[in-house]
Amino acid sequence: MVKRNVYLDNTPLDEAIGKYLDRIKEMGALKPLPGELISVDEALGRVTSEPVFAQVSSPHYHACAMDGMAVKAENTFKASETTPVRLRVGSGAFPVDTGDPLPEGCDAVIMIEQVHFVFDSEIEIIAAATPWQHVRPLGEDIVATEMIVLANHVLRPMDIGGILAGGITEVNVYRRPVVTIIPTGTELVQPGTDLKKGDIIEYNSRVIGGLIREWGGQAVRTDICSDDYDVLRERVQNAVEQSDIVVVNAGSSAGSEDFTSAIVRELGEVIVHGVAIKPGKPVVLGIIEGKPVLGIPGYPVSAILDCELFLKPLITAKAGLTTIDRPVLTASLSRKFVSPQGVDEFVRVKLGRVGKKIIATPISRGAGVLTSMIRADGILKIPRFMEGYDAGTDVKVELLKDKNEIDNTLLIIGSHDVSLDILGNYLRQMYPGRSLSSAHVGSFGGLLALRRGEAHMAGAHLLDEATGDYNIAYVEKLLSGIPVVIINLVYRQQGFIVPRGNPRCVRTFVDLARPNMKFINRQKGAGTRILLDYYLKKEGVDPEDIEGYNREDYTHMAVAAAIAGGSADVGLGIKAAANALKLDFVPVTEERYDLVIPQVYWDTRHIKSLLNVLNDPGFQASVESLGGYSTRATGQEVYRLD
């Protein structure tokens, strides 16, 4: 006797989704699939399963940024319109093209438009060149060992370029989940077939396959399966063995030839059969051998809606992606719309702007009208406890066209620290879809940004000379009247970053003022700059005596790159930056680096997620592995200003 189901449940939508996903999660099947190593050339659109770090710097040499003449800047300092300077080509000036290596002994490029040839062998200039003008220093774009992209990151064309520029040719990405689609129905025929009455062109598997690929899966379509219980059972069993998810299209209801529910129950487990939605009620949500198996109705609109609701979360989870809600806007209904109680109805609407209002007009609600999905601009959900809406009612519409990005970024402005990259990576791994964006403007600049309401938090390590403590005095002064909480990120070692072997024998701040000692500084307002000035004053060193005191950069890694590239002999920075580029490090002091968080954001999901990451042992171990860090107080409250 043919086995079939003779009834449907009427499970509420939220309950159905919750039951199904919870059961799959219990079986360990709702997580990204194992990673695979693929060529970067083939990685567009894939999701990184681990962060990608640069193997080489870009550029990996000091590169000329303009066509012109490479010179030593100090040889041009006296140039003016009234006192032009002449340089011999080949000894004082060297012809270069954009991208050429900067000739030995040169530190600037003069654009060809600003060069006057007196003779073929001699040029004249009437304006002084500044050191490092029109030069791309080593590591300007990417510094070796720097994180190029995070884990759980969808690779874009520019990411591909950045990874290749960093010397990487293969990248680890999550494997795409294989989803087998089994179209069923004796009445189905392939596109292009000469049609007769009763024939239905099989296009649903193509639609579903397109959605699967759009959501990050790999679609496999089988041949059309006839309405035969034993044949369909064998097809389902084979598909389970060969794929990660199985979708049976049609045969999910309770008719005489609807076998899906019975087959899933025989081979595995049916979690839900029938959901209180319109369209799409006769859906089967099951599991066979730990793999999700879905029975999707044959009507195209029902099939699309059920795939959106039940299949998409499975695919995105297995692909390492995040299901991002579509943008929603408020619109005014053009006419009364009645909906049956007891079901969540999804209504396709057209949208148009009339005056200052956006008007929503419902279109065909038939489950078999595929063109209604093609024409629709949005979807209006009418909850199951509502009977509909009167004309003129303001309603929320989920957009199908002209999407906007969902803002899901935690913004930190202030001092640079290498551990922020690790923090951002762990945030993305623990909370896929969330990200941390950091802007490096210095500790002082970060606090000012908080005062202007431009960031969720600021990173700071500002030493108070009077007390020897960090940050509190500056917060009380700059953020007076703004309630904040100070949380410790790390304790870290600050010191002199020098080449391997410390060839200039840098030991103290007095050494920075030695002749021909090339120093690279941090920007004004940076905590490291304030620390430097504190020690220079303490040891009686005049900044004017330090060559390069006014040469500034914005990150510890950039300072380390300058030293690795030979354009500087020493800089003040953190040990982790020195370690990253295999430089030597002369410790000076340990300092406290804190996160200053306005209390208005304290109870937000952004900050709660961040605090969970800060207290994660894996995150703390990763930070300490960089060298020069202590996480003994990471995540702990340091101070609260009410």
317, containing H or E segment: helix 312-319
- 76, exposed or middle or buried, with CB in 10 Å at 0-12, 13-18, 19+? buried
Other CB atoms within 10 A of residue 224 CB: 17
Strands 147-149 and 52-53: antiparallel
Q: Return the SS3 of 211.
A: helix
Q: 578: closest CA among 491, 470, 502? A: 502
Q: Return the SS3 of 412.
A: strand
Q: 321: closest CA among 401, 420, 240, 213? A: 213
DSSP 40: G
Distance CA 334, CA 391 (A): 6
Q: Give percent of the chain above pLDDT 70.
A: 95
pLDDT at 2: 47
Q: Return the SS3 of 203.
A: coil
pLDDT at 352: 66
Distance CA 253, CA 267 (A): 18
- Positions of the chain with pLDDT lower than 50, given as ranges: 1-2, 4, 6, 403-407
Strand partners, 95: 69
pLDDT digits (tens, 9 = 90+) for 126-157: 999 999 999 999 999 999 999 999 999 999 99
Residues in the chain: 642
Cβ-proximal residues to 50 (8 Å cutoff; 6+ apart), any chain: 35, 151, 172
Q: Provide the residue ranges of all domains of the chain, joining segments of one domain with +.
A: 13-33+176-319, 35-58+140-174, 63-136, 328-399, 409-641
Architecture of the CATH domain 328-399: Beta Barrel (2.40)
pLDDT at 408: 60
Distance CA 422, CA 631 (A): 13
- Helices 617-624 and 419-430: crossing angle in degrees, nearest 10, is 150
- 307, exposed or middle or buried, with CB in 10 Å at 0-12, 13-18, 19+? buried
Q: Which CATH superfamily is domain 35-58+140-174 in?
A: Molybdopterin biosynthesis moea protein, domain 2 (3.90.105.10)
Domain over 63-136 is classified CATH 2.170.190.11 = yes
pLDDT digits (tens, 9 = 90+) for 548-603: 999 998 888 889 999 999 999 999 999 999 999 999 999 999 999 999 999 988 98
Asked whether 463 and 533 are in contact (CB, 8 A), the reply is no
pLDDT at 409: 67
Architecture of the CATH domain 409-641: 3-Layer(aba) Sandwich (3.40)
Q: Which residue has the tokens 């900044």?
A: 543
Distance CA 430, CA 588 (A): 35
Q: 219: closest CA among 229, 231, 204? A: 204
Other CB atoms within 10 A of residue 82 CB: 6
Q: Locate all alpha helices (DSSP H) within 436-565, ordered by sequence.
A: 443-451, 472-478, 527-538, 556-564
> pTM value?
0.75
pLDDT at 297: 92
CATH class of 13-33+176-319: alpha beta
Q: What angle do CA 535, 539, 543 make, to 5 degrees?
A: 70
Q: Which residue has the tokens 């009437």?
A: 126
Q: What is the Cα gyration radius of the chain?
A: 32
User: How many CA atoms are closer than 13 Å to the CA of 501, on its beta-carbon side?
Assistant: 1
And the tokens for 179?
């989803």
The separation between CA 298 and the C-alpha centre of its own chain, rounded to angstroms, equals 37
